[in-house]
Structure 1
Amino acid sequence: MLDVGMWRELERFLMGFKKRMLIAGYGMHGYGESAVKLFLSMRHSGPSPNDVTFVAVLSACAHAGMVNEGREVFECMKRDYGLVPRTEHFVCMVDMYGRAGMLEEAMQFIRDYISGEPGPVVWTAMVGACKMHKDFDLGVEVAERLLAVEPENPGHYVLLSNIYALKGKMDKVEKIRNVMIHRRLKKQTGYSSIEIDHVVHVFRMGDTLHPKSAEVYKLLEELVHKIKEAGYVPETDSVLHELEDEEREVALRFHSEKLAVAFGIMNTKDGTLIRIVKNLRMCSDCHLAIKFISIVTDREIIVRDKHRFHHFKEGNCSCQDYW
């Protein structure tokens, strides 16, 4: 049997675990201030934060644009708790600076804190920031370094290809595609799923495998017409530049999360909350479109993508367009 001391130790462990999970949850759902507040309460009244706690709160700061708070959290790791930062903490800091558009600060952080060649996760965060803030020159430089440290990951080739496409260098895009074909590397297929009446329905971009595809596409066309009237303008940069404007818009229209949302609206009562799961990061156009769909349908829509939860309601998203 456990003695009193062991019970107290177990209680402290469980309380720490609970608070770490809450901090991570706050961050993933867009409540960065709540995550930091809970972290500060741990510092004041315990249990003491460990290295996992710091990953959770730094990630929350990154997703909420809380740069000053993130800096202080990172500095207090070693100063107040004697913890040595790991790769996960470095990635959070690079991600935080990058999302905030502080790209030079992110690069300086890499130079100052990471000894040796940074790992692929660090460069991936940096490439994403460069793409987000349209610094294509730095993006190309970083993406090439990423390929050098992990040349067999097809996702890295896609990142570099997208940056070249946004910069209009289609010859470079074609070269990367040829390399991928030669190495037999395939891009990860995106898909979205929705559960209706305990049945999971899966959609991929432009596919017609679902038995109700015709109805889904018809409703989606109607939704796109309505949201355009409400002010939606497709963000065609989400699609490769080799397509004409009209073709890009059509390609965007049939992304998997839009199909899943249309299916959910079609098969649930008015006012029902819609929940979607996406295996990749949601593109900026789908994010914008679903904000407008939440207005014209008066629905709350939740999309869990690769990085976080997006709660869409009345034209707003819990991520505050910061994801």
Structure 2
Amino acid sequence: MISGYGMHGHGRKAVKLFHQMKALTKPDHVAFLSVLSACSHSGLIAEAWDCFNSMGRDFQVTPRPEHYACMVDLLGRSGRLNEAFEFIERMPVRPDAGVWGALLGACRIHSNIELAKIAANNLFELDAENPGRYVLMSNIYASSGKQKDADKIRDLMKQRGVRKVAGHTSIEIRNKVYTFVAGDKSHAQSDLIYSELEKVINRIRQEGYKPDLNFVLHDVEEEMKEKMLYVHSEKLAIVFGLLNSGPGSVIRINKNLRVCGDCHRAIKFISKVTGREIVMRDAHRFHHFNDGACSCGDYW
């Protein structure tokens, strides 16, 4: 329950339930991981420190690398990157890929190239087969205007034979699952989907949506960047859902990777202009979009 609350953006409910649990039984390392993860998903820094510090002090539970990773993720996403790095340096155990991955992800959000380099160099040794690490570092360079450095990371991927995982989004309509990739035109309703997508994009632009071009390749023209963002798999699946589900029904989609920042912002607008609740399960958590807002509070 604690973990479930955390994944759905109910961090304070997770912490409250954890305190109820402590009154009944001694929490183990799994319980602590669940509540720290919930705090990380909701940006509850003070609550997380309270739980983390109580592990050894009150319950004789030794923190494991995954507990440290939660704290690094929490501090990093909150913008406290230097504090997160100092925390890593003080760890009594060797930081693993989860710890450095949390720092790298935070560096992507806050555009900190120097700490990203340190995290990436460690990940390229500890987690050399994981394509996400290379892609993330390449994107950090690209979004900072360092295209040559971004290209070097892509070349390193090729040299090591590491291939990027293709993103896809699935949706279930009347007990049948439909899967979309970016720019997908393989579906029987493709013409209708793209026609409706154009209408939806025009509506959300009128409401204030502006595409975030940081989430697309940096070696193409501006107009092409926008077009590439519009056909991300999340948007295609949602439009398909709008066309094929009953009025007022909840649209539920599943993304195999972390939802991109532009799609996250666009879906908030889509939920507002269509009056539909949209629930997305990505690689990290659930996002509940309703009337222009997301349950994650833009903290994910």
TM-score bracket for the superposition, by shorter chain length:
over 0.9
**Alignment map for 1:59-98 (pairs within 5 Å):** 59-98=37-76
In structure 1, distance between residues paired with 2:58 and 2:209:
49
Identity percentage over the alignment? 49
Aligned to 2:201: 224
CA contact (8 A) 1:204 1:255 kept: yes
Aligned to 2:12: 33
Alignment size in residue pairs? 300
In structure 2, distance between residues paired with 1:149 and 1:139:
15
Residue of 78, 99, 108 corresponding to 2:77? 99
Residue of 123, 131, 150 corresponding to 1:146? 123
1:222-272 deviation line (CA, Å, top 9, x unaligned): 100110011101111111221221111111111111000000000012111
Structure 2 residues not aligned, in runs of 5+: none
Cα displacement (A) at 1:147: 1.0
CA contact (8 A) 2:255 2:282 kept: yes
Bigger shift: 58-67 or 144-153? 144-153
Residue of 59, 64, 89 corresponding to 1:111? 89
In structure 2, distance between residues paired with 1:194 and 1:150:
31
In structure 1, distance between residues paired with 2:202 and 2:169:
22
Letter in 2 for 1:113: M
Asked whether 1:233 is paired with 2:222, we answer: no
RMSD: 1.1
Bigger shift: 47-56 or 274-283? 47-56
Bigger shift: 99-108 or 239-248? 239-248
CA contact (8 A) 1:31 1:64 kept: yes
TM-score (norm 1): 0.90
Asked whether 1:243 is paired with 2:220, we answer: yes
Larger Rg: 1
CA contact (8 A) 1:39 1:57 kept: yes
Letter in 2 for 1:248: K
Cα displacement (A) at 1:138: 1.6
Asked whether 1:203 is paired with 2:180, we answer: yes
Aligned to 1:272: 249
In structure 1, distance between residues paired with 2:184 and 2:245:
22
In structure 2, distance between residues paired with 1:131 and 1:263:
31
CA contact (8 A) 1:144 1:160 kept: no
SS at match of 1:113: coil
Which consecutive aligned stretches of 4+ in structure 1 deviate over 6 angstroms post-superposition? none
Cα displacement (A) at 1:47: 2.4
Cα displacement (A) at 1:160: 1.2
TM-score (norm 2): 0.97
**Alignment map for 1:176-195 (pairs within 5 Å):** 176-195=153-172
CA contact (8 A) 1:140 1:164 kept: no
In structure 2, distance between residues paired with 1:71 and 1:301:
33
Cα displacement (A) at 1:282: 0.3
